[in-house]
């Protein structure tokens, strides 16, 4: 109803309308209140929801494991979460409002503003939206590797950058460890000796760990000192004076830094060499600007085989992780040494085997000749025999039994007995050769009983047994005072019996025989000499006399050419030696060397 | 050429049986040359180089040498080496006899300059065959007479 319409109404009509309106208004009032309430309620709800979401966001930031830092377009830090505080070691008040470059080491620190400016200008991102590994710096100045991801937030009028930062020191350490151990393993695998591998290993450890200079010292088993093996360094960290000094140094156990590590079997970290009294190259260290050192043993079980030393121009604080890594390197090299030692033993064994094999080849060669020789006679003469017998038969059958005695007599008296004789001699020869072989091979199997032997009484016994032969040869025998030895009584007796027999056998009938037996001690060994003035041996045959079945003079009576071969074999098994000196027509001297017993008792 | 009859066969062999078999089989093969036997390397060297008290080589006699390789003291290879090192004696045909056919040994002897190399076979027939072919070889080879001027004739 419009206003003009009311002008047409009467007063009564107006009152009635008012009443009606008043009534309507009365009814609507609670709805108004409800409306206001509802509106208020709604506002409240809105407020709380906003608050909640802020809370939630804050909670996320507060509890995030990753460090989260927000900066503006100019690089000014707007916020950081507790993880960031912990990671970098700052309180929020110390960083908020300051340039984020304070959290970076050089050269990023100086360049960060231009990185950011460049991005804002060109939109060309290097990190934003990508993420990469960079270095960060804590409040205490220490630098550590991080994985950094940056995201961009565009607001109405400005934009923010949020950095998500994860400390990857742990992972990097594991990688370093793997790299160093791998490089060490590879260098060891490629090298024949530790001395050859050492410079490579040292260099790679230097390069990977940042220690400038490394040295390897090996324990000299004999003189019980540490001897310099080699050095390796990071490119650009040469310390020639240091290395020169090292080459002439040795460390006794417990002396100097390497010696201390050797004595304790444990690593030793010296952060500042200036205060170290045990450091022998202090002056050179000053000149070469070396400040820190770490040394650790190369261990094989509990035994120290060498010591590694690393030097640094920077002052380096002890680092448990690095010490752990060094310990691993030490044991790895220890295992290499162990393996090399086993290989050397194997090679030694192979050499001995090769020698034995050569010896065996000689024996087989000689045997193949010497055993065939009598066989040629046996077969040859048995054929002669067959032929002769056939002839006898033919002659007997011929002309009605009219024999021709002279021819038959020749066959029966000469050809047939001769053949039989050679056949029998051949069989006997093979028999004696085979017996000799058996004796020789038995020597290698006989169990030895090594004990202290009184050589004076042993030689006296041998001389007594040979008294008749010596007397018959018309020889004079002179026996000196003889030192005791360690050996097997039966076999050593055999050696000297053989030597004395030979001396008697090869005397020169042109002059009266003179044989002497003497002995002396020399550096823990007893040296004996059996000397004769016999026929002697020409130089070309002096090696051959030890050959199996070799006989100097087959006319000189019995013997199968085994005496000296057996003597040599016996001595070989008892850590002994035999050699000969001889001059033709002047005589021969056989020398025997055997281990002497430890000097607990005086000589007998 | 009738000079084969005159050739004297020198056998250096330490095994008397082997020497005897060689002699017998040479004879059976029809070779009736004079045979002179030496029991070791030293005695044949003394004979050839005319040393010591034993018999010495004649100037006008052609020789052929059978040398056993393995002998005590001076072995066959050493005898061969000394023969071949002498400008006169090196012309004498020399046949090496051995019980082994070790190729290294064969090569060594040929290297020094032996005329032939024979392995003493255990098989008697083979051995006789070898001796016979050796006889044939001796009868065919022109044996130089050392210590004479060429074309001297007789």
**What is the per-residue pLDDT across A490-500, written as a single tens digit (0 to 9) for each?**
999 999 999 99
Contact B18 A372 (CB under 8 A): no
Interface check B126 vs A, CB under 8 A? no
> For B121, which residue in chain A has the nearest alpha carbon?
A376
pLDDT band at B127 (very low <50, low <70, confident <90, very high): low
Neighbours of B43 (CB within 10 A): 16
Inspect the interface and report whether the beta carbons of B100 and A365 lie closer than 8 Å.
yes
State the smallest CA–CA distance between residue B149 and chain A in angstroms: 37
Cα–Cα distance, B145 to B154 (Å, whole number) = 11
For the record, the structure tokens of B92 come out as 């004498």
Q: Say whether pLDDT at B104 is over 60.
A: yes
Predicted pLDDT at A46: 83
User: B151 falls in which pLDDT band (50, 70, 90)?
Assistant: very low
The more confidently predicted of residues A255 and B30 is A255
- What residues in A contact B128, CB-CB < 8 Å? 383
More confident residue, A131 or A90: A90
Inter-chain CB proximity A383 and B15 less than 8 Å: no
Q: Do B17 and A552 touch (CB under 8 A)?
A: no
Q: What is the 3-state secondary structure (H, E, C) of A163-226?
A: EEEEECHHHHHHHHHHHHHHHHHHHHHHCCCHHHHHHHHHHHHHHHHCCCEEEEEEEECCCCEE
User: Which chain B residue's Cα is nearest to A540?
Assistant: B73
Q: Which of B14, B18, B73 sits opposite A376 (nearest CB)?
A: B18
Q: What is the pTM of this model?
A: 0.50
Instruction: Count residue pairs from A and B with Cβ separation < 8 A.
Output: 62
The answer to whether ipTM exceeds 0.85 is no
d(CA A346, CA A97): 72
Residue A451 in this model has a pLDDT that exceeds 80: yes
Which of A48-62, A249-263, A513-527 is predicted least confidently? A48-62
State whether A369 and B122 contact (CB < 8 Å): no
pLDDT band, very low/low/confident/very high, at B79 (cuts 50, 70, 90): very high
pLDDT at B3: 41
pLDDT score of A401 more than 60: no
Report yes or no: B120 at the A interface, CB cutoff 8 Å.
yes
Among A198-202, A515-519, B146-150, which stretch is predicted with the lowest mean pLDDT? Answer: B146-150
Q: Where are the beta strands (DSSP E) in A413-560?
A: 450-453, 476-479, 485-488, 514-522, 525-532
DSSP state of A96: T
Please determine, for residue B1, whether its predicted confidence score (pLDDT) is greater than 60. no
Closest chain B residue by Cα to residue A367? B100
A377 vs B17: CB contact, 8 Å cut-off?
yes
Contact B17 A375 (CB under 8 A): no
* Cβ-contact A214, A233 below 8 angstroms: yes
Provide the 3-class DSSP secondary structure of residue A277: coil
Sequence-separated (6 or more) residues with CB below 8 Å from residue B133: none
Band of residue B149 on the pLDDT scale cut at 50, 70, 90 = very low
Chain B partners within 8 Å of A368 (Cβ): 99-100
Give residue A137's pLDDT band: very low, low, confident or very high (50, 70, 90).
very high
Determine, for residues A377 and B100 on separate chains, whether the beta-carbon distance falls below 8 Å: no
Average pLDDT over residues A589-602: 83
B21 in A contact zone (CB under 8 Å)? yes
Average pLDDT on A565-580 reads: 90
């Amino acid at each position: 109803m419009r206003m003009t319409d009311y002008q047409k109404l009467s007063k009564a009509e107006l009152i009635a309308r008012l009443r009606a309106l008043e009534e309507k208004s009365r009814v609507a009032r609670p709805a108004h209140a409800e409306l206001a309430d509802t509106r208020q309620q709604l506002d409240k709800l809105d407020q709380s929801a906003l608050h909640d979401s802020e809370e939630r966001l804050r909670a996320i930031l507060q509890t995030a494991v990753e460090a989260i830092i927000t900066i503006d377009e100019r690089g000014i830090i707007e916020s950081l979460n507790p993880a960031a505080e912990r990671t970098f070691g700052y309180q929020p008040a110390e960083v908020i409002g300051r340039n984020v470059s304070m959290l970076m080491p050089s050269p990023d620190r100086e360049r960060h503003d231009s990185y950011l400016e460049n991005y804002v200008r060109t939109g060309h991102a290097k990190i934003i939206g990508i993420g990469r590994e960079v270095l960060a710096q804590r409040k205490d100045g220490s630098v550590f590797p991080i994985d950094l991801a940056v995201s961009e937030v565009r607001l109405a009028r400005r934009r923010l950058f949020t950095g998500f930062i994860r400390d990857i020191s742990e992972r990097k350490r594991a990688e370093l460890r793997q790299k160093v151990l791998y490089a060490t393993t590879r260098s060891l695998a490629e090298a024949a000796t530790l001395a050859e591998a050492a410079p490579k290993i040292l260099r790679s450890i230097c390069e990977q760990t940042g220690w400038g200079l490394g040295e390897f010292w090996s324990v000299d088993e004999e003189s019980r000192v540490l001897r310099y093996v080699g050095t390796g360094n990071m490119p650009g960290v040469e310390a020639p004076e240091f290395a020169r000094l090292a080459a002439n140094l040795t460390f006794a156990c417990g002396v100097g830094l390497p010696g201390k590590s050797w004595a304790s079997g444990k690593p030793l970290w010296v952060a500042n060499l200036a205060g170290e009294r045990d450091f022998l190259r202090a002056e050179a260290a000053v000149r070469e600007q070396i400040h820190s050192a770490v040394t650790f043993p190369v261990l094989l079980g509990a035994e120290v085989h060498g010591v590694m030393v690393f030097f640094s121009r920077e002052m380096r604080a002890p680092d448990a992780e690095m010490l752990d890594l060094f310990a691993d390197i030490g044991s790895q090299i220890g295992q290499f040494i162990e393996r090399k030692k086993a290989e050397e033993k194997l090679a030694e064994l192979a050499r001995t085997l090769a020698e034995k094999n050569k010896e065996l080849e000689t024996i087989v060669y000689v045997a193949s000749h010497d055993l065939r020789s009598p066989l040629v006679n046996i077969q040859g003469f048995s054929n002669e025999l067959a032929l002769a017998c056939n002839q006898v038969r033919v002659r007997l059958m011929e002309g009605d039994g009219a024999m021709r005695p002279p021819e038959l007599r020749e066959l029966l008296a000469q050809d047939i007995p001769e053949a039989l004789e050679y056949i029998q001699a051949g069989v006997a020869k093979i028999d004696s050769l085979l017996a000799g072989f058996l004796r020789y091979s038995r020597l290698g199997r006989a169990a030895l009983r090594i004990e202290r032997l009184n050589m004076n009484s042993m030689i006296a016994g041998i001389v007594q047994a040979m008294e008749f032969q010596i007397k018959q040869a018309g020889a004079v025998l002179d026996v000196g005072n003889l030192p005791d030895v360690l050996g097997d009584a039966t076999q050593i007796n055999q050696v000297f019996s053989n030597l004395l027999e030979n001396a008697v056998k090869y005397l020169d009938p042109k002059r009266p025989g003179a044989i002497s037996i003497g002995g002396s001690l020399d550096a823990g060994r007893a040296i004996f000499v059996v000397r004769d003035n016999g026929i002697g041996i020409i130089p070309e045959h002096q090696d051959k006399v030890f050959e199996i079945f070799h006989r100097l003079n087959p006319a000189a009576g019995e013997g199968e050419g085994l005496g000296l071969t057996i003597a040599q074999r016996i001595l070989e098994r008892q850590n002994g030696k035999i050699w000969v000196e001889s001059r033709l027509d002047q005589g021969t001297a056989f020398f025997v060397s055997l281990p002497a017993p430890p000097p607990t008792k005086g000589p007998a | 050429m009738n000079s084969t009859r005159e050739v004297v066969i020198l056998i250096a062999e330490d095994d008397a049986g082997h020497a005897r078999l060689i002699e017998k089989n040479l004879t059976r093969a029809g070779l009736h040359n004079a045979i002179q036997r030496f029991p070791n390397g030293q005695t044949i060297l003394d004979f050839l180089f005319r040393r010591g008290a034993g018999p010495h080589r004649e100037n006008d006699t052609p020789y052929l040498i059978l040398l056993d390789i393995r002998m005590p003291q001076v072995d066959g290879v050493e005898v061969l080496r000394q023969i071949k090192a002498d400008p006169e004696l090196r012309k004498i045909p020399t046949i090496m006899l051995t019980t082994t056919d070790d190729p290294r040994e064969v090569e060594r002897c040929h290297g020094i300059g032996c005329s032939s190399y024979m392995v003493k076979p255990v098989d008697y027939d083979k051995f006789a065959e070898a001796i016979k072919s050796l006889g044939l070889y001796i009868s065919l080879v022109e044996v130089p007479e050392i210590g004479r001027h060429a074309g001297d004739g007789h």
